Amino acid sequence: MSLNPHLVKESFAVIEPVADKAAAYFYGRLFAESPHLRGMFPPAMDVQRDRLFSALTRIVWSLDSPDSLEAFLGQLGRDHRKYGVIAEHYTAVGNALLATVRRFAAEVWSSEIESAWVAAYTAAANAMIESAEADAGVSPAWWLAEVIDHERRTRDIAVITLRPSQRMPFLPGQYVNVQTARWPRVWRTFSIANAPREDNTIRLHVRSVPGGWVSTALVDHTRIGDTVMLGPPVGMMTPADTGRDMLCVAGGTGLAPLKAIIEHVISSGRRPNVHLLFGVRHTHELYDLPDLIRMESSFPWLRVLPVVSDDPGYDGMRGRVPEVMERFHSWAEHDVYVCGPPPMVNETVRRLLWSGVPLANIRRDIALGEF
């Protein structure tokens, strides 16, 4: 059975406008046919439904880009281990997925489209299973980590330092899923804000948001000495190490992975010119500015530019960070890293492409956690 990306994409395009309904139907079908799987998921399913459709969208539109798809599926397979997913679960998921697609793409459904979906899912599931099995021999499914420092930087932002109980390899720019004792089975993603260290510690920048179960637990209720669970590090926004000069554009706690990448440059011994634009709405949200200024004073090739958009009393650079970025020289010869809220990331990338920065030179991510 051969892959047919065109047929899968064609039918998936019919489902995308009703993504919420399709995701709800999928989980209803899955739990009705395999009720024992319900206990693997959090009590509230809203974030889980969003993640499902986000992952499915990426898989579908990457079917004809095998290299990037293989890397993404490998990460998914390794990450699913922390939920206790085993090979047989993929059959139940595949049955529920096929039933969902058949229902919501009924207007275009055919035996050829069904065969295309079966082939695509089988290939994706096999890739995830193989990745998980390979990872099981060399890495735990999750790590216990002790909170060794908890610094409240603003009313809703904390910088938290963790020490995993065993070494956790990761790359600068990656993120981890976090679970707290307060909310079992509820995982949220947070970027690692440092490059790998000899002492095996990692640092997270966490913003608490209304209704954010894990982020609120981490900011308001977590203390030094507490223990959290970490999933395997994932994420593709890692250093290119091309030797080119760099532009880093951060919005809010999207600073975290960019700071890790800058730390990586520092430890590498390379000395490209690095510009960091750190954008927030209000001055008090420049929660990590003292440490950034310390880094800038130690490394003359690093320039840090705080940008504040909604505070008339701020006497530094004011404006929206995508617009401020354009006030400087061309970034066309730079490697660019962008992380922040989705609208800010999308607008920044759009302006970079319009100004002549090649897409291959841009690495992007959204600020993780709950926002």
Give the tens place of pLDDT for each residue, 34-51: 998 888 777 767 777 787
Angle, CA of 301, 257 and 208, to the nearest 5°: 130
pLDDT digits (tens, 9 = 90+) for 329-339: 789 999 999 99
pLDDT of 141 > 90? The answer is no
**Mean of all residue pLDDT scores within the chain:** 91
Helix (H/G/I), strand (E/B), else coil: 234: strand
Residues 167-191, mean pLDDT to the nearest whole number: 93
pLDDT of 370 > 60? The answer is no
pLDDT of 277 > 90? The answer is yes
Question: In what order do the strands lie in the sheet containing 188-191?
Answer: 188-191, 175-180, 227-230, 143-152, 157-164, 202-207
Determine what percent of the chain is predicted with pLDDT higher than 90: 71
Q: How confident is the model at residue 371 (pLDDT cuts 50, 70, 90)?
A: very low
pLDDT of 28 > 50? The answer is yes
Angle between helices 19-33 and 46-61 (to 10 degrees): 110
pLDDT of 139 > 80? The answer is yes
Q: Is the dihedral of CA 83, 89, 92, 95 positive or negative?
A: positive
Q: Are 260 and 345 in contact (CB under 8 A)?
A: no
Q: Could you tell me the CA-to-CA distances from 208 to 155, 214, 291 in Å, in that order? A: 9, 8, 21
